[in-house]
Amino acid sequence: MNNPCAIEPLTKVRHGRSLTVAVPTEPRASASGVIRVMTVSPHERDHENLNSILPPPRWVLHRARTLSSAVRQLKRYSPLPLVLCEHDLSPGSWLDMLEHIGHIERPPLLIVTSRFADERLWAEALNLGAYDVLAKPFDTTEVKRILSLAWSRWQKCETASMQFQPPENPAGSIRELALSLR
């Protein structure tokens, strides 16, 4: 059975002697012609950098500096397909955002951003239900690649009327599970 929410393998293309990976850099927009993304970071520079990488009118960025502001905007602009969330928010963190997303009827895919994006953060984020991790400073090609793949996946899930659900969590909350893994 073909799962429309499964991550598609990347197409390998021979280019001279090296092997490169071809991915879409410009995803198909929604019926309204725009792709909406929430960026959650206390750092204005993050918002500015993402705005220059993902310019309007194709991309519409909803900015939030705090977790509480992001939660209010998620309710206001639902469905919002993609959320880029800074690893550390004060107060709170990406784990709190993931916890909140888990209660939304049409949940966005969460992409964690961090200056300290190492293997441990990637493993933790992916195991707990985040879509991916983006390292800072942002690389234009990588941001577009990750967001394009995430947007495609979210669209497939919407088309199939399927919901992305984080893995079952017997420990109760995402934060409790994360702390138990450390």
What pLDDT does residue 3 have? 39
Write the pLDDT tens digit of every residue in 122-131.
999 999 999 9
Q: What is the pLDDT of residues 28-37, one digit of tens each?
A: 555 567 899 9
- At residue 68, the pLDDT reads 95
Q: What is the dihedral of CA 87, 134, 126, 24, to 10 degrees?
A: 150
Q: Look up the pTM and report it.
A: 0.74
Model pLDDT for residues 58-89, shown as the tens digit of each residue: 899 999 999 999 999 999 988 899 999 999 99
Do the beta carbons of residue 178 and residue 124 sit within 8 Å?
yes
DSSP per residue, 112-171: EEETT--HHHHHHHHHHT-SEEEESSPPHHHHHHHHHHHHHHHHHHHHTT----PPP-TT
Domains of the chain, CATH where assigned: 11-181 (3.40.50.2300)
